[in-house]
Amino acid sequence: MLRLIACAPAGFRYIDKARPRKNERTLSVNHGGVCVLYDATFSARHVQLPSFLSFEVVCAYVHRAGFSAVIVVLYRPGSVTVTQSFFDDFGDLLEWLATFSAPLTIVGDFNIHVDDVMDVNARKLADILDSHSLVQHVRSPTHSHGHTLDLFITRDDQLIELLPVDLPCYEERYSNNEYYYYLFIFCLILF
């Protein structure tokens, strides 16, 4: 929690979901989780989602005069092999999110090489997005090894202007992917 507080600049708030503890019987520090950082000029409320075992996720409804959106932040651990369970869970999440009429933004570290057209998992993800009328907008590498793992997804009828991802800046300033992830989300939520 302390790192997250330090990461949130003045004038911003956040809604977070801590990573579940591996051992419920210990009170040791629990590292990780997901959050939505948002400008304090927005009002926001946490949207309760079903539990998913294959990824971490947090959802918020943000609004202010003339604007509203549902924001979802997702993290799928890269240390875990992509399985059909992920695609089933993600499909269930998208079905659940389809009940909202507000514009939808899903951002996160999917740890799937969506830039590789030969990657079976990238094709499965693209098919799921297409079947839900969703578009993945990131077209440049978001990882130091040149792949696109961090995604920005919206409904296909939403007009989007993306901010560039400046990976060299990340590599110079941070040595840990979690900070890059927060910066990535922060840049996307600036609306």
Q: What local confidence, expressed as pLDDT, does residue 1 receive?
A: 46
Q: What local confidence, expressed as pLDDT, does residue 33 receive?
A: 82
Q: What local confidence, expressed as pLDDT, does residue 123 receive?
A: 96
Ordered DSSP codes for 68-135: EEEEEEEE--TTS---HHHHHHHHHHHHHHTT--S-EEEEEE--S-TT-TT-HHHHHHHHHHHHTTEE
| CB distance 79 to 109 below 8 Å | no
132-161: pLDDT as tens digits: 999 988 766 666 666 667 788 999 999 876
Q: Which long-range contacts (CB under 8 A, 24 or more apart) does 90-99 make?
A: 90/52, 90/54, 90/55, 90/125, 90/128, 91/128, 92/50, 92/52, 93/49, 93/50, 93/52, 93/57, 94/128, 94/132, 94/134, 95/132, 96/49, 96/50, 97/59, 97/70, 97/72, 98/132
Q: pTM, whole model, 2 decimals?
A: 0.80
Q: Pick from 109, 27, 125: which is nearest to 74 by CA?
A: 109
Q: Which long-range contacts (CB under 8 A, 24 or more apart) does 126-133 make?
A: 128/87, 128/90, 128/91, 128/94, 129/153, 132/94, 132/95, 132/98, 133/157
Residues contacting 135, CB < 8 A, separation 6+: 129, 153, 154, 155, 156
Q: What is the set of domains in the chain, with CATH numbers?
A: 2-18+32-188 (3.60.10)
Q: What local confidence, expressed as pLDDT, does residue 160 receive?
A: 76
Q: What local confidence, expressed as pLDDT, does residue 163 receive?
A: 57
Tell me the backbone φ, ψ of residue 170, rounded to 5 degrees.
Answer: -60, -45
Low-confidence spans in the chain with pLDDT less than 70: 1-7, 21-31, 139-148, 161-191
Q: What local confidence, expressed as pLDDT, does residue 65 receive?
A: 93
C-alpha neighbours within 13 Å on the C-beta side of residue 85: 10
